[in-house]
Structure 1
Amino acid sequence: MTLLPVSFGLLLGLACLLLLASPWPYLAPFVLAGLVGMAVLYRRPVWGLLGLVVLVPFEGLFRDYELSGAKLVGAGLILVLVLQLLQRRLPETRLGSNLWRALLPFLLCVLLSLAFSENLEVSLDNLRELAIGMTLFGITLLIGRELNLLLLCRLLALSVAATSAIALYSVKYQVGGRAIGLLQDANYFALLIAVAVPPALLLLLRAKGLAERLLWLAVLVVLFAGMTKTDSRSGLLVVLLTCAICAWHHRSRLRLIRPRHLGFVMLGAAIVVPLTVATLPDAYIERIKLLGALSSGVNAHQDASLGRRASYVVVGTRMIGDAPLLGAGPGTFPLHYAKTGYAKAFNEGFSVPDLYRRAHNTYLELFAEVGIPGGLAFVALILMGLRNFQCARRAWLAAGDQSRADLATHLGLCLLSIALFLLFLSIPNHKYLWMFLALSSVLRLQAEGRELPWKAS
């Protein structure tokens, strides 16, 4: 054992003894638990990354506390990786990625916008949130090579499905009849479900036994039921699109269907389709029908949600026109929106007015807050990540490795789901976004033979 881990362990031990002699001796066992946790993370840092993936759907449980499981695991993982970099147990070359070509200009634009921000305090707080999400980008680049991707798919699908099941059967985790899971917004919950569907589909297709197939089929049913309960129209569209892309990727499997199987397929469709329509809430169906009226313009009286989103576009466009190069400053969109008449017209607050609202469109918000160059750099970053997954898929298909090509496709669909949801939510700091961006780079390097071989299962 090297000097740094020994010194760290001695410091923690000393802290434990000091707590035993302090007025708070009950905190001493937590120091020991932290020491054990740090030792585990030091030996298996990839477990910390998997733990963060699992904890994302449960973050709402700790929103009233200063400390949470995700913060503790994240801080411990960062400390462990810094120690390993200093000890050269991890090569610095792992941080290499083609995404830096878009990420560095984006960060430069953010910092320049911060320097000329209209409200420095708000911008610093916004930058802090962005930095927390981006930390996962570096973590995944460093240890993503050791990540068991099938285990990642299992944990992601099961954790989101668990919160979906909780939301379906507990009114406590619903607002206005809409499921929010353990989060604060139904659309954010719909995002998690949309991200979890492609891994669940992959696991269903790869299942070998009947029990395993039934398990992942049940997970998919729970996820689709949870999506229906969120009443999220954007979420439904994203899930349908990803399912269509999955069907196209696996189109060769359709050749296995023989004429004698068509009767069972038609019978299943005759049962599932009417049952799905019958179980959809009437309010959800009406919300979906209103999307068909968009061709004739947005009517705020018919659908306040669409009217509110149209007002975000108006305010954001105005901000871009006023400061096209550097924007108004990170996090300043709500300040501009609160000054408009739209804020009062679409106010949803009752006892406390809800005037400071985000753009609910990450791309629009970034163009308005950090300027056109910064917005274009962020869009380029997303496109490059999707391109990485596409290149990895093609490389493995060319090598005849269908298993890894399937993994690249379904993980790429996770990033695609997030990229589409960025049109409906302001989530530039989402942990899954930065993790899948880093994974896209890791998989492309591996697929093109520039990394050591890895195991898919």
Structure 2
Amino acid sequence: MRLAWPLVTGTAAMTGSVSVLLAGMAGTAPLAIGLGVALLGCVALLAQPFLGLATLAVFAHLDAVEKTLFGFLPVSAFKLLSGLTVLAILLNGPRLRRNIHDALREPVIVAGVCLVAIGFVSAIFAEDKAMALSSLQKLLSLLLLPFLVVVLADTPRRVALLICVLVATSVASALILGADFALGVQLFAQSDAATTARTVEGVSRSSGGSDYNPTTAASLMLVGVVVALSHAMETRQRRVLLLMAVAIGTGALILSFARSAALSFSVVALLIGWRHRHARFAVPVAGLVLLMMIAALPLIPAEYWQRLSSFFGGAADHTLGRRMTYNIIGLDLFTRNPLLGLGPGNFVHHFTDPEYRHLPGRTMLGRELHNMYLSVLVQYGLIGGAAYFAMLIAAMRHLGAVIRHPASEAMRVQAVALRFGLFAYLLVSLFLPNEYTKYSWLLPGIAAALHRCNRLAWEGA
């Protein structure tokens, strides 16, 4: 096994070189260049699997950019990269043996495995077997994310890099969203969910660099903005740069017209402010933020205020009532199958049941339940819900343990920032079906990796 990865990388290099040579001789220069770049990437990934994980973390948010760059491939670039990263782990097996052993005992991953096992049992009784199997395939690929993070993010520096990716991708998506709004186009988004959504005022919305719908894309951006804000408040390091990221991200959250993200951001920002209420810089920073908010008021579209006013009945918006109907249907379905649920993905199938035809907002097209927690209970029942919630609770407990007993100041700051970011994401998930969103699995994985690095640092000390 120690000679496996040099043998494979050597074989890949030879095979790739021949392919590039043949493509060049055939006169297809773009193909030759593309093959050469792909070859170098594969060799680098096999030699250093963390590069694959870092790229997966980037594409977990910027999936629209990924599809634009690699949409010509016969399979998803994300799945292909995940497979290559797993292969690289296998080839580096002896060196990563302890990491793999720790990952298999990690509570976050064990809870995820339990959810998948319960999902298979629940799928047996599901009415729509095809939909259940499709959702289980998603679940298995998502479970791979925290496993890869715990195995490969095995140093504080690597964990810090993944946290930086959360902020950097939020800034990148925010800039793309701003460009979309200014130009009135969709630069990267391709999916129907990302390109057809509009506000009730008729203003076109953008998902930025994500291919999720604009509201879900805003929840991903929210994580990076909150992490940057918390980090900037905890330490002086890179404070100016992080506050710039917060300003850019906040502007993009406004232009996303996502009410759930606005509500969650407001709550978490108040909590962060309360945490630092006794700091010397609290009053000056609060004053500066207030001045910036006042200065930005003329730049905020009037449609944004109209959309927020729907919270208080100030604007007619049928989507709020429709989402309440989703929850009513979800509660009814949960009471009918409380232990194992309807089966993975089967809420969409039961949503169109004629029994619910008289409820306001019910459509003939299947819709997802816009509440991650109730959605999990409806699909997987109390048993599956217990496993999923255990995964999220374990992630929060890991971060709390690092904050109470940090091996370094940097790790404490990262834990505080990540805890606020995860809390903001879990809060906004009250209004979104995020159980199959990549961040729902990536963030607990980073929390577990940070906790493991902190524990190893103490053991080494």
The normalised TM-score by structure 2 is 0.82
User: How far apart are residue 31 of structure 1 and its match?
Assistant: 5.0
Greater Cα shift, 370-379 or 1-10: 1-10
Q: Distance in 2 between matches of 1:387 and 1:236?
A: 26
Q: Which residue number corresponds to residue 89 of structure 2?
A: 81
Unaligned runs of 5+ in 1: 294-298, 348-352
Is 1:390 aligned to residue 400 of structure 2? yes
Q: Which residue number corresponds to residue 200 of structure 1?
A: 228
RMSD, aligned CA: 3.3
Q: Which residue number corresponds to residue 125 of structure 2?
A: 116
Identity of aligned residues (%): 22
Is 1:286 aligned to residue 295 of structure 2? no
Is 1:178 aligned to residue 195 of structure 2? no
User: How far apart are residue 410 of structure 1 and its match?
Assistant: 0.6
Q: Distance in 1 between matches of 2:5 and 2:440?
A: 32
Q: Distance in 1 between matches of 2:304 and 2:170?
A: 22
Deviations for 1:92-123, whole angstroms, at most 9, x for unmatched residues? 32212133553343222211101222111111
Q: Which amino acid aligns with 1:74?
A: S
Q: Distance in 2 between matches of 1:21 and 1:227?
A: 49
Q: Which amino acid aligns with 1:375?
A: G
Is 1:271 aligned to residue 281 of structure 2? no
Q: In 1, are the aligned partners of 2:235 and 2:413 still within 8 Å (CA)? A: no
Is 1:325 aligned to residue 325 of structure 2? no
Unaligned runs of 5+ in 2: 187-194
Q: Distance in 2 between matches of 1:193 and 1:137?
A: 20
Q: Which residue number corresponds to residue 442 of structure 1?
A: 449
Q: In 2, are the aligned partners of 1:133 and 1:431 still within 8 Å (CA)? A: yes
Q: Secondary structure at the match of 2:343?
A: coil
Alignment equivalent of 1:42, drawn from 46, 55, 75 = 46
Q: Which amino acid aligns with 1:130?
A: L
Q: Which residue number corresponds to residue 78 of structure 2?
A: 70
Is 1:373 aligned to residue 383 of structure 2? yes
Q: Distance in 1 between matches of 2:179 and 2:5?
A: 46
Q: In 2, are the aligned partners of 1:38 and 1:80 still within 8 Å (CA)? A: no
Is 1:229 aligned to residue 233 of structure 2? no
Deviations for 1:260-317, whole angstroms, at most 9, x for unmatched residues? xx6x667635533433444333332233233235xxxxx9x93211111111112111
- How many equivalent pairs are there? 431
Greater Cα shift, 41-50 or 189-198: 41-50
Q: Which residue number corresponds to residue 296 of structure 1?
A: none
Q: Which amino acid aligns with 2:64?
A: G
Q: Which amino acid aligns with 2:301?
A: P
User: How far apart are residue 69 of structure 1 and its match?
Assistant: 4.2
Q: Which amino acid aligns with 2:81?
A: V
Q: Distance in 2 between matches of 1:354 and 1:37?
A: 46
Deviations for 1:345-387, whole angstroms, at most 9, x for unmatched residues? 647xxxxx87121112222222111212111221222122112
Q: Which residue number corresponds to residue 314 of structure 1?
A: 328
Q: In 1, are the aligned partners of 2:47 and 2:88 still within 8 Å (CA)? A: no
Q: Which residue number corresponds to residue 168 of structure 1?
A: 178
Alpha-carbon distance change, 80 to 452 in structure 1, aligned in 2, over 3 angstroms: farther
Q: Which amino acid aligns with 1:78?
A: V
Q: Secondary structure at the match of 1:386?
A: helix
User: How far apart are residue 343 of structure 1 and its match?
Assistant: 9.8
